Amino acid sequence: MKNKLGLIFSVVILLLLVGLIAGDLFFEKPKSQKNIYEYDLDKLRQVDSSLIAYKETTSFKIDGEAVYGLAIGNEDNIYVSGRNKLWIFNPKGELQSSMKVRGDAHCLNVSESGNILLGVGNRVDIRKPDGGLNNSFLVKGKNAYISSLVEKEGIVYVADAGQKIVHEYSVDGKKVKDIGGKNLEKGIRGFVVPSPYFDLMLGRQGELWVVNPGRHALEAYNSKGDLISTWERTSMQVDGFGGCCNPSHVAMLSDGSFVTSEKGLERIKVHLPSGDFKSVVAAPSQFDAGTTGLDLAVDSNDRIVVLDPLRKMVRIFELK
For 168-211, the pLDDT digits (tens) are 999 999 999 999 999 999 999 999 999 999 999 999 999 999 99
Whether pLDDT at 86 is above 50: yes
Helix/strand number for the chain, H first, E second:
2, 23
| 101 lies in some domain | yes
Residue 119 lies in a domain: yes
In the chain, % helix, strand, coil (3-state, to 5) comes to 15, 45, 45
Collapsing DSSP states into helix, strand and coil, what is residue 163?
coil
**Average pLDDT value for residue range 255-277:** 97
- 304 in a domain, yes or no? yes
The confidence band for 45, taking pLDDT boundaries of 50, 70 and 90, is: confident
DSSP class per residue in 6-53? HHHHHHHHHHHHHHHHHHHHHSPPPPPPP-TT---HHHHT---GGGB-
Asked if the model's pLDDT at residue 38 lies above 70, the reply is no
pLDDT band, very low/low/confident/very high, at 63 (cuts 50, 70, 90): very high
- Assigned domain for 280 exists: yes
Residue 1 lies in a domain: no
Domain range for 113 is: 41-319
CATH code at 103?
Answer: 2.120.10.30
Q: Residue 24: inside a domain, yes or no?
A: no
The answer to whether 309 and 293 are in contact (CB under 8 A) is: yes
Identify whether 10 is part of a domain. Answer: no
Residue 21 has pLDDT above 50, yes or no: no
Q: How many domains does the chain have?
A: 1
Domain annotation covers residue 23: no
